[in-house]
A and B are shown apart, each in its own frame.
Chain A
Amino acid sequence: MYVAMQRIRRFEEAIAESSSAREFKGPTHLYIGQEAVAAGVCTALEKGDYVFGGHRSHGHYLAKGGSMRGLAAEIFVRETGCSKGRGGSMHLTAPEIGLLGTSALVGGGMGPGVGTALASVLLGRDHVTAIFFGDGAIEEGIFSESLNFASLKKLPVIFICENNLYASHLPLGVRQPQPELFKHAEPYGLPGLRIDGNDAVEVYRTAASAVERARAGEGPTMLECMTYRWRGHVGPSYDLEYDIRTREELDSWIARDPIERLAGRMAETGVMTEAERARIDTQVQDDVDDSMSFARKSPFPEVKDLLKYVYKD
């Protein structure tokens, strides 16, 4: 999990720099600060299990095992990207690891995610589907529709609400009358649990139980993972230049850095020495540098292919 989290962190730091340098124009929604959620959940999944995400899904893609080169090239909108430069940062795909496609519509992965779980049951496959969404998605109709159907049919789904307290610029308190989002699960007859989303071990353990329950045919679970995105809604800025959130609030969450927490725990228990950590970090940085250089060197799609892929032949 440490490697997975560090890969997300270092990769996105590199992307933030490239974005500031205007190496690409498209919107990137950074996941820095939330890494423990993606890493904890995806560690509990098998390769064939499905993952759905949204506009902020670099972390889900990497944690599930997607190619870093393919991700970098997609953000740079090159032909070698995972979506061949047609999707950009918000539209990632890696069907070989069960990530069929991420959607920019809030809650856009929820219906299709439940659909893959229905297919798994009908076709007798043993896959589970993990659907990541933010606190804003709770406000969408598709949230109710998806939970209702998944629970009714006891489908193998894990609904993972990453509550980072903001939908774009708007804090939770001005959007929802009651802040305990996990309680939305109960009326639909599925368990809802609130956990510390910055504690990778807690996320992993909880997700593993939910996955086991789903695979056993006992139905879906909803997890509310309390976390925080360090960067602003979109792009590399911290959104401190606007009247949205305070320096103090941001600092209090940086002090709860999920990566340092896990690393500290691993050091205490002797699972990872300083030297091992340094070696891992160097390897991760090499991979990040390689992916960025791959993206920069890759060609853009050709204009003659503008209409390619509108329809499947």
Chain B
Amino acid sequence: MSTRTSVRPQVAVRELDYGSAINEAFTQLLEGDETVLLIGQGLYSPWYVGSSMVALEKKFGTARVVDTPVSENGVTGIAIGAAMAGMHPVVIHPRMDFMVLATDQILNQAAKAHYMFGGAINVPMVVRGIINRGGEQAAQHSQALQSYYMHIPGLKVVMPSTAYDAKGLLISSVYDGNPVIYIDDRWLYSQRDPVPEELYTVPIGKGAVRRKGKHVTIVATSYMNVEALAAAVSLAEEGIEAEVIDPRTLKPLDEDLICDSVARTGHLVIADAAWRSCGAAAEIAAMVAERAFGALKAPIARVTLAEAPAPSSSPLEKAYYPWAADVVEAVRRTVHYS
């Protein structure tokens, strides 16, 4: 990502790809803390989870790196119990679509426990849902369900878009003390980034400005940061300076960072590769309309999926997913609005 600027401290660190950064975080967590447990489906599989889980069970044994029976709900419940008993489990769902089977445990048990038991019990658990779209995999191997979980009080939702954040947010999530939904998109796995070798945290609830600009604010989630940054480069050629904001955490949202940017640019485009209705983009748009309406010089624009299940056929797939060109088009519409 040579086009990306960063607000991180400029120290010389080696580069890692996104999948390897997750793998390194898991390795260091398992090495340093006997309460860390990885559990879910596909953990020993050569194809399910890319480089992010490779060889962990060989290093740490199959007792703490558990590839499970095909029981999403049960296994998520088991992780909740382990968390209540003092462990720090990470449940892995290699297809986010299948994570829906665990909705009962996530929504009814994990999200409720701390409140419903008056603070006596907490569930320090991470549920990692992997978006595994594209490649003609069709409607049940492609969903990005972040808004589903954003809706639920008691859950936090993070979506790292860089290798640095993938590692740092994973470590923060494990030690947050609350159930955290950690969502990674496999299209990000080849992103390379300077990643410190030691354990470090990225704060939950803090966004990052990926590129400064004064004409329009683009809030992009997860992989859409890659497309938004590419869009910003081409927009610069036509004289539009876009500010790209990666919220990194969708719940709780870094509202101030977004509103401060909109206050300067007066224009907002939100790019989220999920559905429009009740989506993350809808939530961000509503928040800005409530908090920064006076700053807006044009209607807010959303770049999202087509309102349809994901198709299998490649030409349809290409039309279905949002790309940099869609972001460029939305920015032009809002900046030239009159």
Contacts and interface: CB of A to CB of B under 8 A. Distances in A.
A142 B74 contact: yes
Contacts of B68: 149
Contact of A111 (B63, B64, B109): B109
Interface stretch (B21-29, B42-50, B80-88): B80-88
B85 A115 contact: yes
B86 A119 contact: yes
Contacts of A101: 84, 113, 116-117, 121
A113 B76 CA distance: 12
B51 to A, nearest CB: 26
B81 A142 contact: no
A115 B154 CA distance: 20
Q: How large is the interface on A (under 10, 10 to 19, 20 to 34, 35 or more residues)?
A: 35 or more
Contacts of B63: 121-122
Given A87-B117, A310-B115, A100 B69 contact: no
A146 interface: yes
B69 A119 contact: no
A146 B74 contact: yes
B108 A123 contact: no
Interface in B144-166: 153-154, 156
Contact of A145 (B71, B108, B120): B71
B84 A100 contact: yes
A112 B84 contact: yes
Nearest to B79: A115
Contacts of B89: 115
Contacts of B78: 111-112, 114-115, 118, 146, 149
Top 5 A-B residue pairs of the complex, sorted by shortest distance between their CB atoms:
A111-B77, A115-B81, A145-B74, A84-B118, A112-B81
B181 to A, nearest CB: 14
Given A84-B119, A144-B74, 5 more contacts: A112-B78, A115-B79, A118-B82, A119-B81, A146-B77
Contacts of A100: 81, 84-85, 117, 121
A105 B107 CA distance: 11
A93 interface: yes
A217 interface: no
B334 interface: no
A308 to B, nearest CB: 7
Contacts of A309: 114-115, 118-119
24 contacts: A50-B85, A83-B120, A93-B118, A93-B120, A95-B121, A101-B116, A103-B108, A105-B109, A108-B108, A111-B73, A111-B77, A111-B81, A112-B78, A115-B82, A122-B64, A122-B87, A123-B86, A123-B87, A141-B74, A145-B69, A145-B74, A145-B77, A310-B114, A310-B154
Most chain-B Cβ atoms within 10 A of its Cβ — which of A50, A100, A142, A312?
A: A312
Contacts of B35: 123
A142 B116 CA distance: 21
Interface of B: 34-35, 37, 63-64, 68-69, 71, 73-87, 89, 104-105, 108-109, 113-122, 153-154, 156, 177-178
A95 B35 CA distance: 19
B85 A120 contact: yes
B108 to A, nearest CB: 5
A312 B177 CA distance: 6
Contacts of B85: 50, 100, 115-116, 119-120, 123
Most chain-A Cβ atoms within 10 A of its Cβ — which of B71, B115, B116, B119?
A: B116
Interface string A202-227: 00000000000000000000000000
B336 to A, nearest CB: 42
Nearest to B80: A112
Contacts of B73: 111, 141-142, 145
A115 B89 CA distance: 10
A146 B122 CA distance: 21
Nearest to B177: A312
Interface in A113-136: 113-123
A85 interface: yes
A59 interface: no
